[in-house]
Amino acid sequence: MDVSRSNRIARGTWIALAALLLSGQAPVQEKRFLYVAVPGIRNEIEHGGMGVLVFDADNGYKFVRRIPTWTVAEGEKPEDVKGIAANASTARLYVSTTKRLAAFDLLTDKKVWEKTYDGDCCDRMAVSPDGRILYVPSFDKPKWYVVSGATGEVIKTIDVPGRAHNTIYSEDGTRAYLAALSSPTLSIADTKTHAVVNTVGPFSNAIRPFTVNGKQTICFVNVNALLGFEVGDLQTGKVLHQVAVEGFKTGKVKRHGCPSHGIALTPDETELWISDGFNSRLHIFDATVMPPKQITNIPVRDQPGWITFSIDGRRAYPSTGEVIDIKSKKILTTLEDEVGRHVQSEKLLEITFADGKPIRAGDQFAMGTKR
């Protein structure tokens, strides 16, 4: 987090505290929870079963409860969870699968609506900062649905070459970033017109997970066949750098078919974290220099396919279920469900509550916040 933003938050906190003291009311206590959608590793229920698991981030990430999502008929396979998103102002949690998109009330855990689009659904979607709009990628089709956050109804569709996949909504709400499987080009949509206005690339291969900085000037992308990442200029559309992880061999991975599937920029934009499936590692790069410089690595308990961070930028959440202190690079604990299963998921985010109401929601993508 940049200093000016940190100072504004601190001033706001002290002003709010002073107002409460003058009014004779007790300060509001905030509580942080980690929401983990499962099965979030393909449809493998051994990693936590089905539903949305809630963990207490202020109490050692202890299991709190399981939110039911949908049932599976006997003999049928569970649906892969493909994405998770949340908005605090509307108190909504969204979960997508290969067959549906559903909205849940964060106050009651009850399902509000459930939709399919063109007979199927959905990949990794994103919600606007005000909670009014969702950008929902179709499942393996060249199309994004622009959807009402309140009702799930389609407002518009956007055609993008490739198989619609990963989606980022900018922090200022002006842009949506659309990455399609089998395409080496990142598309940028204007969220007022819901039309593609720019592209970045082509990168050296098809884009997989990606992230952007807070100023929306740079993107960092995983691409097929590369243990590492590439850097793109969001303003000129040019590819600036390719950075390969040094000192590690590549080989066959369990999932995703690419050496690095998972990339995360710390909120303060000082570090870039990269997944390494074959070596079951997270590689950390110094992002204060360009191109970023490799500095260390962390072994994890399985092959990672995603990384995100806590809202305050102090904890890392790889898909393998560890909770890692970002500063020390130490593993603090691991996620286990109510029956002791090791929980793993590529679809998780943090939500902060005060007086039982959501006040901040994290993102499944780990993006920079410096402006």
pLDDT at 257: 96
pLDDT at 140: 87
Q: Two tokens at 253? A: 């991975």
CB 255 within 8 A of CB 262: no
Residue type, 40: G
pLDDT at 72: 85
Nearest by Cα to 182 from 160, 165, 206, 200:
206
Is residue 14 scored above 70 in pLDDT? Answer: no
Q: What is the arithmetic mean of pLDDT over 124-150?
A: 97
pLDDT at 118: 87
pLDDT at 21: 53
Q: What is the arithmetic mean of pLDDT over 2-27?
A: 53
Round to whole Å and give the CA distance between 278 and 132. 40
Task: Quote the number of domains for the chain.
Answer: 1
Q: What is the arithmetic mean of pLDDT over 121-126?
A: 96
Is residue 17 scored above 60 in pLDDT? Answer: no
40: pLDDT confidence band, cut at 50, 70 and 90? very high
Say if 46 falls within a structural domain.
no
In the β-sheet with 163-169, what is the strand arrangement from edge to edge? 163-169, 175-181, 186-190, 195-200
Q: What is the CATH number of the domain that holds 204?
A: 2.130.10.10
- What are 239-275's pLDDT values in tens digits? 999 999 999 999 999 999 999 999 999 999 999 999 9
Say if 247 falls within a structural domain.
yes
Round to whole Å and give the CA distance between 180 and 89. 29
Say if 32 falls within a structural domain.
no
Q: Two tokens at 131? A: 């909670």
pLDDT at 75: 82
pLDDT at 3: 45
pLDDT at 28: 77
Round to whole Å and give the CA distance between 179 and 210. 8
Say if 277 falls within a structural domain.
yes
Q: For residue 286, with 0-12 CB atoms within 10 Å meaning exposed, 13-18 middle and 19 or more buried, which class applies?
A: middle
Residue type, 226: L
Is residue 318 scored above 50 in pLDDT? Answer: yes
Say if 13 falls within a structural domain.
no
Is residue 370 scored above 60 in pLDDT? Answer: yes
Give the range among 11-20, 133-142, 258-267 with minimum mean pLDDT: 11-20
Q: Is 254 left (phi over 0), alpha (psi -120 to 50) or beta?
A: alpha
CA–CA–CA angle 344, 346, 347 (5° rounding)? 110
Say if 173 falls within a structural domain.
yes
Say if 361 falls within a structural domain.
no
Query: Which backbone phi and psi does 199 adopt, to 5 degrees?
Result: -135, 160
74: pLDDT confidence band, cut at 50, 70 and 90? confident
Say if 34 falls within a structural domain.
no
Nearest by Cα to 117 from 94, 139, 132:
139
Q: What is the arithmetic mean of pLDDT over 225-229?
A: 98
**234 by DSSP, 3-state: which?**
coil
Residues 6+ apart with CB under 8 A from 227: 244, 245, 248, 250, 259, 260, 276, 278
Structural domain range at position 115: 76-336
Range 311-318, long-range pairs (CB < 8 A, 24+ positions) = 311/32, 311/267, 311/350, 311/352, 311/360, 311/362, 312/1, 312/267, 313/1, 313/266, 313/267, 313/268, 315/57, 316/264, 316/273, 316/282, 317/34, 317/348, 317/350, 318/262, 318/275, 318/282
- What are 324-352's pLDDT values in tens digits? 999 999 999 999 999 999 999 999 999 99
Element (H, E) at 305: none
- What are 296-309's pLDDT values in tens digits? 999 999 999 999 99
Average pLDDT, the chain: 94
